[in-house]
Amino acid sequence: MISGLSSMATRPLLAELSEHIRLVHGLPVRFEAAGGVEIARRVREGAEADLLVLADGALAALEKEGLLLAGTARPLWTSQVVAAVPEGSPVPVLDSESDLRAVLRSAKKIAYSTGPSGTDLIDLISRLGLADALAGRLVQAPPGVPAGSLLSCGQADLAFQQRSELMDLPGVVIAGPLPGDSAINSTFGGGVLSSASQPGLALEVLDLFGSDMGSRTARARGMRASGNSRSA
């Protein structure tokens, strides 16, 4: 059994890829997912696993700390951040930055995540000069909870997160990606943990994630392969 840790954004994709690898290659793979900050904390505290899949910034920090085997970390998939609204609400137009400004200003509560998409959204709001106007309307989802889930329970009327995390949520309608220079993309990478009990097999699994099969599965899950992932 190859064990892995990942953030919530890649959970459905990793579940599908792991099942494929089990069926086709006879290699059982199991991932445990939680909020990215929580997973990074566990790794620093000595969590035992073979593989790690996280946002590239968090992955790079852990690699620098010596918690990944040298040379194994690589980008895998990129996920586009999109806006979403509750099902039944008018779907806003996001053709321009002016549209985005209007949508943000009109929202009563705006949900965002604790992950990289949330950090990038706050930076974008500041760049748009809306930080003060929206300060009382921003609602951060708890770690490991999709920002889109706050739409269906009535805690927000607008949410921003990776498409991969919003596309299968009930009661949520994706309005579309952010326009032009406002676009936000989050890249997720993988690496073999220094504590891996089966580093060779773990590296084989990582290669399969970066293969053409992995790329096709990622597209179906709202992501795209990153340019430097390997083919196998």
Q: Write down the pLDDT at residue 90.
A: 94
pLDDT band at 231 (very low <50, low <70, confident <90, very high): very low
Report all structural domains of the chain as residue ranges with CATH numbers, in order of start: 2-78+187-225 (3.40.190.10), 79-182 (3.40.190.10)
Average pLDDT over residues 86-110: 95
Which residues contact residue 125 at a Cβ distance below 8 angstroms, ignoring those fewer than 6 apart?
104, 131, 134, 138
Q: Which amino acid would we find at residue 143?
A: P
Among residues 218, 194, 155, the alpha carbon closest in space to that of 50 is found at 194
**DSSP label at residue 68:** B
* pLDDT tens, position by position, 103-155: 999 999 999 988 788 889 999 999 999 999 999 999 999 887 889 999 989 99
What confidence tier does 213 reach under pLDDT thresholds 50, 70, 90?
Answer: very high
What does the pLDDT average to over 59-68? 97
**169-204 tens-digit pLDDT:** 899 999 999 999 999 998 999 999 999 999 999 999
> 156 CB contacts (<8 Å, ≥6 apart)?
107, 109, 110, 111, 139, 147, 150
Q: What was the pLDDT predicted at 227?
A: 65
List CB contacts of 94: < 8 A, sequence separation 6 or more: 83, 100, 103, 175, 176, 177, 178, 179
Band of pLDDT at residue 232, cut at 50, 70 and 90: very low
pLDDT band at 167 (very low <50, low <70, confident <90, very high): confident
| 3 state DSSP class of 46 | coil
β-pairing, 138-140 vs 110-112, is parallel
